Structure 1
């Protein structure tokens, strides 16, 4: 901000008064004060913003949820507006540490003239920021008034930093805002505070992702008051921020608020997107604390909640140091070194939804995302900074061992690509492929002989860890929606990546003084979209001083703004940017003379994916021998990554194999697998668990129930662990997706269940309502369950274990609910809960009331 900035107030009623001869206008839009954290909690002090009032603005009349608020913002010297440090959730401190965020509604008077503190992180041997950090910033071209013909599209920016470092205050988007879009920058909890997980309900992890989703929901609710279009929000980010943005589209609760995705140097299948060993990570953190080690579940969580903030951040730093010492340069370059997002499964025992229910690779492969466009790209030499800096000496030592780069390097690189692994293991076909020295030798043929050894390593690691995930994501995403791919290739005179992404090993000063930078590296493209500030929000010098840099910034900002506004990027003076296809491999080269090019690293991607068709293409004639070796050795004509899925989209709510990584407990007496399918033997339609699905005759998903209805895809299932069920199919199974499992003997009427009660008679209540999709879920004769109600009108799964009365309630009365109305899925132990929703965040240790809000 500048000394000429103007403070703006939004309010319900005009209330003008003079301040030093200037006119201040209040406007209403909703919020709550963003308090400065006490000095005892953090060493952070918010930078001051001197503002001078110079003009009168139009008044906006807004009211939401019977609440009103005054939000004081800043008008910048270029006429745009900034609203800084707005809380979107309650402070996650004290007993709320590690718990899911609780969204705030705007109310009262809000000072939005200063940045909030960054989320707590370890920097320079001390704590930076605060746990009280769930703030966002809004930058808008104009305030909504009579001169604004239509609301502005919104870029929802998620900062990078490997889920360990960074803040929203670093990114000042004035160049993007001038293009006619609103930019929102948000903060989310980092490291253990945001992602520590023990893989159980006591600490399921991913609180940081829920922070991001909550901020997205907040923006969807309130952005119209700032002139934004709630129906045109495009999440975007760089690095780990890019993988987080894409995960929003994969999550069924947040995807409806997503109009597109902008992903820079990251994807949901990047090697840093998920921690595939979160339990081991939590043990390493607990060991570093020297206090909470060797404690079980809830004792461990409570111990961690009571630790000083500094102890937790030092523990994270210790885990990173240990992993860098033992993991080698490949894992150090791109893998998570502190707690990060993890795959949780469908839900926990509290009936609360999880965020990452299956591996992102499987989700994208099966098309489990909305049909929204994707703009994604990489920089030319993503790993250059790390290879020339932190890991230069190790790489130099490895280069003295030619055998390493002839064999072990490729297996290590494949293993580090955790986002592409299946069940934490390498695809067996690729594993065999990359152990074949006659195959991996072809990688060397694609690298220019004139390059130095360190440059060759930069090319190989960039392809393995950034180009490959971008290519596979683009290929799979393009099967359902448009993808626009780019390669940023302009070399800046001075890099600011270390300022934007300080603290991640991939970014470091060069130790290779004889190396001439041949391409932009990870984070070098950020300064062409944003002016840089420190993590705390202090202004820094922007080195874009020459005309070429300014030209590239104009092209890059235009490209992004056009995509946010329309879903289709455009750069003036270039050919029409057609969506990406794996056949053409078309992409945009971003430099001072941008152009559309075909065959995006085509031959390299053919080798990394083991794709026969690519290797046999005319463009890759040098690799034809590799293609024949591939076909001869493995009979492989399609890539293990890119070949079509053998299982289609979900059927009757069933998820593809791999959707549930961990067994998840449910109610007593019900099988632990929440898919509610069982039976012995299994069949060919199940590729992962041979006991889940299978069947006979024309019933594709029928577990050995030889008399099941032919037209019934899921008839006679053993949903409730009745070991005799596979010999006794449901009698009324025809055309009934889940009719009459073993214990549905009293309910044998042939017509009713298959028509109005598609899940009727599921382990039997003889009087279940005729429009009850899951009526009578719990059997009366099961010793572990008490009773089900005799009547359940329009109630899909009414009153298991003791609920008394419920109307229009999809999943009510689970264990002891006494009164519930319009409640989609209230959880265990709730009393007198009304208008509840399964995604309400109720914490780790149970609750008595949950509210929609």
Structure 2
């Protein structure tokens, strides 16, 4: 009897508890009820290996994009850490991520001997279209800014437009100039620290990005100019980690000027100009650590000026200013692996990289802002001398070109529809006396763009396509607001205003990003407002975001891979519309020795007749380039071709 009564009481008690729980009675303990957090609260909480962090950013109510600025991925490389590999740092504590951090030390682009930035600069920004929840897991773009390893910052690239396309964008910073590049590969002074900064940032992003709504298994590297070459270097490195694709804009690891082939000589040059002993690497490092940042950056400017004189001025047209990473040993003697451990042409041709897709592209007239009119002397002779120095830029491309094994010269191709003319590269480089100055400028722009940008891009896509998917694009929209100089001030390749409406180096950047100054302040008169500009931005971002999707997803027919077994070189033409065009400058690039397979419908008859009508033979190439070319505004004579501008 007693047991029955106890059983009934237990049942009643359980029912009371159930009713109470289902009713979820709200009780306020200890004062007033706290306000609910807003649904768009830009706060992220992270926890990694018992390290907790609260990260507060901000949300743009107009675009809906969340931004987190100045996040540190490594300890400041100062004092004894200068010229050392980056020391990884995870998020921890309460972090205010609402302001841009400082740029890495670099020269001011207009004020001589004035240095901006701070060594405490190993930072990154994050732009995300939504806060993390159970539906997120967005593709991630890691942006490696251009600037020839001397200029630039993450703050310049407001990635809200790209993030609005449904991807997370992470612009990163890395050390520049001597502080980020110089070294000879030895364990005492390995160098390539900029590359290790990038690899460390990539590790940080892989580890943290899921807290910001990103998918760590869908990270793609994207860069422009030197940033494009760096993205390719990283993707071919054992440190590539979870990289699932590469976008290389106006740059390639195959470019002749993407790397330093004489790092020991470069280190000695830096030591000498900084008045450091050159007896061994340990003494050089010790000496440079005692120098002020200002002194090192100013001395770098002197080195830059010296390295771009004479025939080396052609480097200016490639976007280079004399500082580039070098090939290292796989092991530096301390058990620490390198990043660029083989010549890039070897890595790509052997397929020594992960099976990841590549999207590589160019602007239509890359060198248009590097060459302008300065009406003195003979424009034609200046053009001839310049064009005949282009052979210096083909060194790293020779393994992929049709070259005579005995003479080393480019073999004359068979041009479809113009076989009887028997034309070669020397015919292409001739400058007819009948051309007026503007036509000469146009020809020089076209040929230098082919040699320094189009040829490396096509060959890279062709060779990469033998191992993985490779896609090619050409940016061909001539806008009036988005210009490369908004992002690339200081580089000679954007030093001049073009004589005619042009699509030059860096012009496409303004269709991906809103332009800021080096500190992150919006640049006036650079925001896109015209309907045509906005449409091109939508087209370009749509292309990039489709590429960012997983490799097995539907990318639509606009992505047609370039491969060694395919006839034609299909490319995506970016304009007010996206179009797939079957052959990219096949007639011109055949004369440069590219082993292309034109479509059967392709004919070079009209192009060949134009070249074949040139009867004027080139004058002998002279060595006095600086007498007829006003190089960087500092030549001894005033040439009608003014290549580059004053160095920052």
Report the TM range for the smaller structure's normalisation.
0.7 to 0.9
**8 A contact 1:570–1:576 mirrored in 2:** no
Q: Please report how far the alpha carbon of residue 568 of structure 1 lies from its aligned counterpart in structure 2 after TM superposition.
A: 8.2
**8 A contact 1:382–1:466 mirrored in 2:** yes
**8 A contact 2:369–2:505 mirrored in 1:** yes
1:335–1:551 distance in 2 versus 1, CA, 3 Å:
closer
Matched, 1:611 2:592: no
Matches within 5 A, 1:4-43: none
Matched, 1:602 2:586: yes
What SS does the corresponding residue of 2:51 show, helix, strand or coil?
coil
Matches within 5 A, 1:410-429: 410=388, 412-417=389-394, 419-420=396-397
Equivalent in the alignment of 1:484:
471
Q: Please report how far the alpha carbon of residue 249 of structure 1 lies from its aligned counterpart in structure 2 after TM superposition.
A: 1.1
Equivalent in the alignment of 1:344:
328
- TM-score normalised by the chain length of structure 2: 0.80
Equivalent in the alignment of 1:534:
517
Cα distance in 2 for partners of 1:569, 1:376 equals: 19
Q: Please report how far the alpha carbon of residue 529 of structure 1 lies from its aligned counterpart in structure 2 after TM superposition.
A: 0.5
1:73–1:403 distance in 2 versus 1, CA, 3 Å:
closer
Gaps of 5+ in 1: 1-20, 26-53, 626-853
Equivalent in the alignment of 1:133:
121
Equivalent in the alignment of 1:193:
179
> Among 260, 265, 270, which residue is 2:255 paired with?
270
Equivalent in the alignment of 1:523:
506
**8 A contact 1:563–1:569 mirrored in 2:** no
Cα distance in 2 for partners of 1:395, 1:258 equals: 51
> Among 379, 385, 389, which residue is 1:404 paired with?
385
**1:426-468, CA deviations, whole angstroms, 9 ceiling, x for partnerless residues?**
9956733389997323425999979700110000000000001
Equivalent in the alignment of 1:454:
441
Matched, 1:117 2:105: no
Matches within 5 A, 1:278-427: 278-289=263-274, 291-334=275-318, 336-388=320-372, 393=374, 397=378, 399-400=380-381, 404=385, 409-410=387-388, 412-417=389-394, 419-420=396-397
> Among 499, 508, 511, which residue is 2:495 paired with?
508
> Among 241, 244, 248, which residue is 2:234 paired with?
248
> Among 548, 563, 583, which residue is 2:532 paired with?
548
What SS does the corresponding residue of 1:63 show, helix, strand or coil?
strand
> Among 105, 113, 130, which residue is 1:142 paired with?
130
**1:590-643, CA deviations, whole angstroms, 9 ceiling, x for partnerless residues?**
111221101111122212125386699953357999xxxxxxxxxxxxxxxxxx
**1:469-523, CA deviations, whole angstroms, 9 ceiling, x for partnerless residues?**
100110011111111211000001134311201111111132x6xx212x31000
1:300–1:144 distance in 2 versus 1, CA, 3 Å:
same
Q: Please report how far the alpha carbon of residue 556 of structure 1 lies from its aligned counterpart in structure 2 after TM superposition.
A: 0.7
Matches within 5 A, 1:749-764: none
Tell me how many residue pairs correspond in the alignment: 558
Q: Please report how far the alpha carbon of residue 326 of structure 1 lies from its aligned counterpart in structure 2 after TM superposition.
A: 3.1
Matched, 1:588 2:572: yes
**1:759-816, CA deviations, whole angstroms, 9 ceiling, x for partnerless residues?**
xxxxxxxxxxxxxxxxxxxxxxxxxxxxxxxxxxxxxxxxxxxxxxxxxxxxxxxxxx
What SS does the corresponding residue of 1:260 show, helix, strand or coil?
strand
Cα distance in 2 for partners of 1:468, 1:501 equals: 23
**1:263-298, CA deviations, whole angstroms, 9 ceiling, x for partnerless residues?**
111111123311112222222222222x21544221
Q: Please report how far the alpha carbon of residue 586 of structure 1 lies from its aligned counterpart in structure 2 after TM superposition.
A: 0.6
Cα distance in 1 for partners of 2:491, 2:376 equals: 18
Q: Please report how far the alpha carbon of residue 404 of structure 1 lies from its aligned counterpart in structure 2 after TM superposition.
A: 3.5
Q: Please report how far the alpha carbon of residue 216 of structure 1 lies from its aligned counterpart in structure 2 after TM superposition.
A: 0.5
Higher relative contact order (CA 8 A, sep 6+): 2
Moved more, 157-166 or 590-599: 590-599
What SS does the corresponding residue of 2:424 show, helix, strand or coil?
helix
Task: Give me the CA root mean square deviation.
Answer: 3.2
Cα distance in 1 for partners of 2:327, 2:260 equals: 8
- TM-score normalised by the chain length of structure 1: 0.61
Equivalent in the alignment of 1:471:
458
Equivalent in the alignment of 1:433:
410
**8 A contact 2:225–2:319 mirrored in 1:** no
Gaps of 5+ in 2: 1-32, 414-421, 610-648
**1:304-355, CA deviations, whole angstroms, 9 ceiling, x for partnerless residues?**
1111101110111001112233345412222643332111132222222111
1:525–1:336 distance in 2 versus 1, CA, 3 Å:
closer
What SS does the corresponding residue of 2:239 show, helix, strand or coil?
coil
**8 A contact 1:316–1:338 mirrored in 2:** no
What SS does the corresponding residue of 1:433 show, helix, strand or coil?
coil
Cα distance in 2 for partners of 1:101, 1:417 equals: 34
Cα distance in 1 for partners of 2:42, 2:382 equals: 70
**8 A contact 1:271–1:334 mirrored in 2:** no
Matched, 1:175 2:156: no
